[in-house]
Structure 1
Amino acid sequence: MTNNAAPTVRKFDTAHSDRTTQLPDHRIRITPAVEATEGGPLSAYGATFGQGERAKLPAPYEEVWVIVRGLLRLNWNGDSLTVGAGEYLHVPRNSPGEVEALEETTLVCVSVPAH
């Protein structure tokens, strides 16, 4: 069956909603915006990390993170990179390492392919 509906422009923000999930045993909350179930080529979500929270990489897809508020450090293979509000970060597919919130941080992520 072919969907002939015209694309619809939608607005999202980083506020928590009834779609927000919190990772077990972490102060990391994820709010989906665009999901694979919608049939598009990408996914998008907002995420909030409590200060000091850490999460392992990799993801099996390409991601671009836009830091809206706060400060993150990525650590991998003895190297590190710090990114703050207004900065973008490209996280290649299967990147090794860990992300750490140096302060409470909000980011927006776009992933390809959709998941």
Structure 2
Amino acid sequence: MTEPAVRSFDSALANGPRLGDRRITMTPAVEASEGGPLSAYTAHLGRGERADVPAPYDEVWVVVSGRLRIVGPGGVVTAGAGEYLHVPRETPGELEAVEDTTLVCVSVPAH
């Protein structure tokens, strides 16, 4: 059995897959294949990019840089660098990058 070890990740890396021709990348850090209870990844969104919010898992998003806006049934929520959001499972809405934005996202359960 392998001993657990602390690992570090750099949110500045944007080497993950790009979503089509959009300026959105997602770089995995901790994945379900590792057998843990959560996933973590870095997301980069270019200014003006939009994405649907619903996901089949709970997430916490930490805004590392930039600013984003989420529009949903509860109204408009904005967050900038240093702020974080709890996004419950199946939350309806749309995310928009008000500026070039980098997020670190943690999801439970792992995916």
Q: Report the TM-score range of the alignment, normalised by the length of the smaller protein.
A: over 0.9
2:7 corresponds to 1:10:
yes
The change in CA–CA distance for 1:11 and 1:114 in structure 2 (over 3 A counts) is: same
Which segments of 5 or more consecutive residues in structure 2 lack a partner in the other structure? Answer: none
Give the aligned partner of residue 25 of structure 1. Answer: 21
Runs of 4+ in 1 over 2 A off after TM superposition: 15-18
1:2-25 deviations in whole A, cap 9, x for unaligned? xx211011110113355x110013
RMSD: 1.1
2:92 corresponds to 1:92:
no
Count of aligned pairs: 111
Report the secondary structure of 1:15's partner residue.
Answer: coil
Give the aligned partner of residue 54 of structure 1. Answer: 50
1:70-102 deviations in whole A, cap 9, x for unaligned? 000000026101100000100000000000000
- State TM-score, norm by structure 2: 0.96
- State TM-score, norm by structure 1: 0.92
For residue 68 of structure 1, what is the amino acid of its counterpart?
V
Which segments of 5 or more consecutive residues in structure 1 lack a partner in the other structure? Answer: none
1:23-79 deviations in whole A, cap 9, x for unaligned? 013110110000000100000000100000000010000000000000000000261
